[in-house]
């Protein structure tokens, strides 16, 4: 897991060859005005999910993990809180893995809470269980999905 600001994204491009495309998308001037939904960036390798959601609070945020994609969760407007826990310590699953949605939920509680303010991003690798939307209030964010 990594937490930083978009201004420092260049530090992380060496971690994955497609991070350059993902961060370039996030730096585009129209990211603030994109409507909700999916945007393909690099066919089958990188796409963006634009969302405007309400926080659920820590008590309602569920840990999730992905097997095929790395998440770069970038906050455009608002103040996001995301729970984190090492996936190896998550034993019990909620509903099992959904290949269609590429997600698995866990019943364990997060061990750490991250504040991700506007202009910041958090990177979650497949071994990072994370619980997004754990704060209160509206959050406009873009989740970049980068194929492992």
> Which pair of tokens denotes residue 53?
């959601």
**Is the predicted pLDDT of residue 95 greater than 90, yes or no?**
no
Contact 18, 45 (CB under 8 A): yes
What one-character DSSP code corresponds to residue 118?
A: T
pLDDT in tens, 5-32: 999 999 999 999 999 999 999 999 999 9
- Cβ neighbours of residue 1 under 8 Å, at least 6 residues apart? 84, 114, 122, 123, 124, 125, 128, 130
**Is the predicted pLDDT of residue 93 greater than 90, yes or no?**
no
Owning domain of residue 70: 2-147
Contact 140, 11 (CB under 8 A): no
Handedness of CA 127, 90, 84, 97 (dihedral sign): positive
Structurally, how many domains does the chain consist of?
1
pTM: 0.95
**Where residue 45 sits, what CATH number does that domain have?**
2.60.120.370
């Amino acid at each position: 897991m990594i937490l930083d600001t978009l201004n420092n994204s260049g530090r992380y491009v060496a971690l994955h060859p497609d991070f350059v495309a993902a961060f370039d998308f996030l730096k585009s001037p129209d990211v603030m005005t994109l409507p909700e939904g999916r945007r393909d960036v690099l066919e089958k390798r990188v796409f963006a999910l634009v969302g405007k959601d309400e926080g659920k609070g820590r008590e309602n945020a569920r840990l999730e993990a992905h097997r095929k994609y790395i998440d770069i969760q970038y906050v455009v407007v608002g103040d996001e809180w995301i729970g984190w826990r090492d996936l190896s310590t998550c034993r019990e699953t909620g509903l099992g893995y959904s290949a269609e949605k590429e997600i698995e939920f866990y019943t364990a509680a997060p061990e750490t809470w991250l504040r991700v303010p506007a202009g910041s991003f958090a990177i979650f690798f497949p071994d990072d269980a994370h619980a997004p939307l754990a704060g209160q209030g509206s959050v406009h964010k873009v989740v970049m999905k980068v194929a492992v």
